[in-house]
Amino acid sequence: MQILGPPHFPPAKTRTHEVYGPGAPVFAFALAARLGGPCLWVRGGWDAAQINPNGFAPFIDPADFALCNTKDQMQSLAVAEEALRDGAVPLVVMALHKPLGLTEGRRLQLAARDGKSTGLALISEDMGSNAAETRWHCAPVFDPEYGGEDSTLHRWELKKNKSGTLGVWYVRWDRASRRIVVVPPAGK
Amino acid sequence: MFDGIGRRVVSLWFPRLASDRVLRRCPLDGPFALTQKISNTDRLYCLNHQALKQGLHVGMPYSDARAFCPDLQTTPVDLPQDERFLHLLRRWATRYCPWVGLEGRDGLVLDVTGATHLFGGEDRMLADMRMRLMRAGLSVQIGLADTRGASWALAHFGEGVAPVGDPLPVLQTLPVAALRLGDKTTTALERLGLRKIGDLASTARAPLARRFGTDVLMRLDQALGHQPEDITPLADPPHFGVRMTLPEPIGLIGDVMAGVSRLLDQLCAKLQTHEMGARVLTVTVRRVDQDSQDVELRLARALHDPQRILPLFERGLAEVDAGFGIDQLRLQATQVEPLRAQQITHASTTQNGSAGQLEDLVTRIGARIGLENIQRFLPADSHIPERSFLIAPVAYSEVPRGGTWACSQPRPLTLFPPEPISAHGPQPPKRFRWRRMSLTTGRATGPERIAPEWWFQDENWRAGLRDYWRVETTQGRRLWLFHTPQNPGWFVQGEFA
């Protein structure tokens, strides 16, 4: 039997996408693992939460990961645009904390198209920009049957899709094959 | 050898170079010495004048010296610093003549042939040297003679000047040790009754050569000028800077870039011949009104490739205010690193292509947010979660390859400073509030006990042992909680993927 991922994953390359919810970092790392190669993570330097390389080592090699600490959101966007346009990294993740205007969102799309790389914005709820190609909501779900050593069950909901249908999938990270697999929802 | 003009050599000997160097930094009154650890014993390496007066000598064990002289102050010797200091002195000495070489670890040798008249004669030149070195706080002994050997002998044994011509009349009263011979040879010569250079010079040569080898006679001949001896001057470090003066002022970005491109070609050719790569480059742009502006470029790795460096300058040069025009460009590599030429293979070109692109990207982003703000993780050997990795700037660290990230227990994806929750007892709470969310424990796995590293002073680990639990909440989130049994309390420290 072939193990299948969600149908819209990975989302269109050469575009910028948005993801929110408590499971957003997992989505980002799953996407980085899927796209392969180095990953640039842009975030505000004031953020006290630390990304733990021991935590994401099952997803991607920490040697392929670079972190940019910026002063404010304007700088984050400038760095992300530059990296997307350059195309040296297949995935640029930017953690944003303010709503994105249409101009900024469109510029990111153009930069991603020019550089042929994928952009992913980690946003807060209700902060989406109209320019985003897709918007996902990711949240972990408690599974009463499987737990402990198993990876967390996640509910990924495609909230917005400019070129396709929406949907909800229950997924797990499969450590052995290093990919996201679709599973039945908890308790079924 | 030299017919038209006699060769004149100055030998400078700094008998207390190491201690003088330290005392220049922090002047002390009283006996002072530098110690060196030789085969597990601290021995005196260099002493100042007062310490010598107390009867201490070089090579004495430190403990003995302290018994003789209780108020002796010491510091360990720093040989690389001393060597650097001697190189600085060598560079300073080129003010007297261009031909300056090092003499051992504590001396300089200058070929001042034809340069003495510039300072008003030999005596005034030596007086000038002595005055300047004394002002710098260095004790020095100076010898001047026709040969390197004779000047060395004079510097080390009775300062003086040998007149032009045969140095033997001046040297003959000096001990044989002044011929730069080993201790063993010197002792053997003294046992034979040959105590002075004069004795040695008047002895038959053949038996001496049979008894001691040719070394003694070679040193004697070198001192007396019968055998030549060279002085090797050190090359000055290469200067990585080029400039261009323009007949007409320019103002367009394209023109400035074209100028910088020409300068880069010259500079990179120079860097390539020396197998160096630039790390920091500065373009100084001088305007017609004598105002000048610097554009600095910090590279993510050492480069000497003009095609790669030039596009990186675009952003900085675009911000230059040209005013009435620019008439001089100056490009300098302010920080360089060795960069060896590498074999180009099929595999390396494909790999370097993307790696080079990534480094250029890091340079460009670094110009915007600072190179130190682009970081990567390096593995570290610690079981403390916060110290199990290091954060290093991408530009100044190598990519670690290999499976050093293996962790026996799952670790959370995000770590944050411990956030207290209200709970009691050693078991994880059934219900708790965290970040204004009320959460219910669905499943708890643990505990995993982590003890603090007592050899580090860490404020965060003052509470002692930690029992970590992986708590799966029925709301979905998997949190990393810990309990501190020695100082009861519950905290949330991370969230799992």
The pLDDT tens digits for A58-74 are 889 888 899 999 999 99
In angstroms, the CA B402 to CA A88 distance is 23
Identify the residue whose tokens are 């308790």: A187
Cβ <8 Å between B360 and A86: yes
Q: Which of B376, B413, B445 sits opposite A55 (nearest CB)?
A: B413
For the cut 60, the answer to whether the pLDDT of residue A170 exceeds it is yes
Average of per-residue pLDDT values in chain A: 88
Residues in chain B: 497
For the cut 70, the answer to whether the pLDDT of residue A180 exceeds it is yes
Q: Which long-range contacts (CB under 8 A, 24 or more apart) does B404-409 make?
A: B404/B379, B405/A53, B405/A54, B405/A57, B405/A61, B405/A62, B405/B379, B406/A57, B407/A54, B407/A57, B409/B448
* ipTM of predicted assembly, 2 dp: 0.90
Under a CB-based contact definition with an 8 Å cutoff, are residues B12 and B101 in contact?
Answer: no
What mean pLDDT comes out for the span A11-22?
A: 92
Cβ <8 Å between B497 and A152: yes
A126 and chain B in contact, CB less than 8 A? no
Q: Which of residues 69-108 of A touch B (CB under 8 A)?
A: 69-71, 75, 78-79, 82-83, 86-89
Q: Which of A55, A61, A142 sits opposite B476 (nearest CB)?
A: A142
Token pair for B146: 């026709």
B373: Cα separation from own chain's centroid: 25
For the cut 70, the answer to whether the pLDDT of residue B345 exceeds it is no
Cβ <8 Å between B496 and A55: yes
B474 and chain A in contact, CB less than 8 A? yes
B397 and chain A in contact, CB less than 8 A? no
In angstroms, the CA B129 to CA A130 distance is 78
What mean pLDDT comes out for the span B290-297?
A: 90
Residue A49: HSE in the Cβ half-sphere, 13 Å Cα cutoff = 14
| Alpha-carbon distance A34 to nearest alpha carbon in chain B (angstroms) | 16
Q: Give the chain B residue nearest A82 (alpha carbons).
A: B365
What mean pLDDT comes out for the span B89-116?
A: 91
CB contact set of B135 (below 8 Å; sequence gap of 6+):
none
pLDDT at B3: 46
| Alpha-carbon distance A164 to nearest alpha carbon in chain B (angstroms) | 28
Classify residue A108 by its DSSP letter.
H
| Alpha-carbon distance A156 to nearest alpha carbon in chain B (angstroms) | 13
Contacts of A66 in chain B (CB under 8 A): 362, 374-376, 394
Q: Which of A52, A59, A66 sits opposite B414 (nearest CB)?
A: A52
Contacts of A170 in chain B (CB under 8 A): none
| Angle at alpha carbon of residue B394, lines to B392 and B397, rounded to 5° | 65
Under a CB-based contact definition with an 8 Å cutoff, are residues B77 and B24 in contact?
Answer: no
CB atoms within 10 A of CB B78: 15
| Alpha-carbon distance A154 to nearest alpha carbon in chain B (angstroms) | 8
In angstroms, the CA B294 to CA B317 distance is 9
Under a CB-based contact definition with an 8 Å cutoff, are residues B223 and B167 in contact?
Answer: yes
Contacts of A63 in chain B (CB under 8 A): 376, 399-401
Interface test mutation site (partner B, options A54, A149, A151, max chain B beta carbons within 10 A):
A54
The model's pLDDT over B169-224, given as tens digits with 9 standing for 90+, comes to 888 889 988 988 888 999 999 998 888 999 888 988 899 899 888 889 999 999 98
Q: Work out the pLDDT band at B353, boundaries 50, 70, 90.
A: low
Report the amino acid identity of residue B187: T
Contacts of B478 in chain A (CB under 8 A): 140, 152
Q: Please provide the distance, in angstroms rounded to a whole number, between the alpha carbons at the two ends of chain A.
A: 20
For the cut 70, the answer to whether the pLDDT of residue B422 exceeds it is yes
Average of per-residue pLDDT values in chain B: 88
Strands of the B41-47 sheet, one edge to the other: B41-47, B32-38, B73-76
| Alpha-carbon distance A114 to nearest alpha carbon in chain B (angstroms) | 15
Quick one: three-class SS letters along chain B?
CCCCCCCCEEEEECCCHHHHHHHHHCCCCCCEEEEEEECCEEEEEEECHHHHHCCCCCCCEHHHHHHHCCCCEEEECCHHHHHHHHHHHHHHHCCCCCCEEEECCCEEEEECCCCHHHHCCHHHHHHHHHHHHHHCCCCCEEEEECCHHHHHHHHHCCCEECCCCCCHHHHCCCEHHHHCCCHHHHHHHHHCCCCEHHHHHCCCHHHHHHHHCHHHHHHHHHHHCCCCCCCCCCCCCCCCEEEEEEEEEECCHHHHHHHHHHHHHHHHHHHHHCCEEEEEEEEEEEECCCCEEEEEEEEEEEECCHHHHHHHHHHHHHCCCCCCCEEEEEEEEEEEEECCCCCCCHHHHHHHHHHHHHHHHHHHHHHHHCHHHEEEEEECCCCCHHHCEEEEEHHHCCCCCCCCCCCCCCCCCEEEEEEEECCCCCCCCCEEEECCEEEEEEEEEEEEEECCCCCCCCHHHCCCCEEEEEEEECCCCEEEEEECCCCCCEEEEEECC
In angstroms, the CA A46 to CA A66 distance is 17
| Alpha-carbon distance B460 to nearest alpha carbon in chain A (angstroms) | 15
Q: b/e for A94-103, b at 16 or more Cβ within 10 A?
A: bbbeeebeee
In angstroms, the CA B58 to CA B44 distance is 5
For the cut 50, the answer to whether the pLDDT of residue A1 exceeds it is no
In angstroms, the CA B426 to CA B449 distance is 12
Stated as kind and residue range, the H or E segment containing A43 is strand A39-44
Strand partners, A69: A43
Cβ <8 Å between B407 and A62: no
Q: Which of B360, B386, B445 sits opposite A148 (nearest CB)?
A: B445
Q: Which of B358, B374, B415 sits opposite A88 (nearest CB)?
A: B358
Contacts of B374 in chain A (CB under 8 A): 66-69
B396 and chain A in contact, CB less than 8 A? no
The model's pLDDT over B460-496, given as tens digits with 9 standing for 90+, comes to 888 889 999 999 999 889 999 999 998 899 999 999 8
Whole-prediction pTM: 0.68
Under a CB-based contact definition with an 8 Å cutoff, are residues A44 and A70 in contact?
Answer: yes
Contacts of A152 in chain B (CB under 8 A): 472, 476, 478, 496-497
B291 and chain A in contact, CB less than 8 A? no
Interface size A-B, in CB pairs within 8 Å, comes to 145
Q: How many helices (H) and strands (E) does chain A have?
A: 4, 10
What mean pLDDT comes out for the span B276-280?
A: 91
Q: Which of B357, B407, B470 sits opposite A86 (nearest CB)?
A: B357
